[in-house]
Amino acid sequence: MNPKVKVSLVIASFVLMLAILACGTTPPTATPRPTPTLGPTNTPLPTNTPAPTDTPEPTDTPEPTDTPEPTNTPEPPPSAVGRWEDPDSNAPYSITTIEQQNGQDVVVSVTNAGRGNVNELTWSKYINGVLAWEYCPSGMHCITSEFISVTSNRLTAKWYWSDSGNGGTTTYRRVP
């Protein structure tokens, strides 16, 4: 026999064998079906096997994330509104009262129980954007004060005699 024919027959046989094997085996992804039960006439009985459905593969449950730490909300800046005791005045101490009117801080009174608790305030206004006020205790120099800073329990102001002369800085204490 011709060698070319032999090689062709061997290759054809090999291809035929692969085809037989491929057709005769169940693919690995096929869903197995039950063997039908035969009735008295050797015909398969119907089965109530539901058709296979594609079931999604389970997904990973996401890991819980850490709840972000609450941010610290900045506290509002301290307010000058309130009653302030002047520790530099003679006891009983003078009390300066500041209120907010029309969105601005305003000094509304300066009193001293030792001087009869009369309101010694003569004016309160903003000078170059700075809260300033003047009070005139009876028989003394009038004093002008200018706001410098405030914390929750301290108010600092510079002061001077309105007719010139003495001056300095006072740190008031907040009182109820």
Tell me the residue ranges of DSSP E strands in the chain.
82-86, 94-101, 104-111, 121-127, 130-135, 143-150, 154-161, 167-175
The contacts of residue 30 (CB under 8 Å, 6+ apart) are none
Q: Which two tokens stand for residue 139?
A: 């028989």
In a domain, 100, yes or no: yes
Q: How many domains does the structure of the chain reveal?
A: 1
Which pLDDT belongs to residue 15?
73
Does 27 reside within a domain? no
Does 24 fall in a domain? no
Give the contacts of 108 (CB within 8 A, at least 6 positions apart): 97, 98, 99, 121, 124
- Domain of 122 in residue numbering reads as 82-175
What would you report as the CA-atom Rg of the chain, rounded to the nearest whole angstrom? 50
Q: For residue 34, give every residue at least 6 positions away whose Cβ sits within 8 Å of its Cβ, in sequence order, or none.
A: 47, 49
Within a domain: 58? no
Answer whether residue 154 is part of any domain.
yes
pTM: 0.58
Q: Do the domain assignments include residue 167?
A: yes
- Dihedral of CA atoms 114, 118, 122, 123 in degrees, nearest 10, equals 100
pLDDT of residue 31: 59
Q: Answer whether residue 131 is part of any domain.
A: yes
For residues 26 and 11, give the distance between their C-alpha atoms in angstroms, rounded to a whole number. 25
Determine, yes or no, domain membership for 48: no
Residue-level pLDDT, tens digit, the chain, 176 residues:
677 777 777 787 777 677 677 666 555 555 556 555 555 555 555 556 555 667 667 667 767 677 777 778 788 889 999 999 999 888 899 999 999 999 999 999 999 999 999 999 999 999 999 999 999 999 999 999 999 999 999 999 999 999 988 999 999 999 99
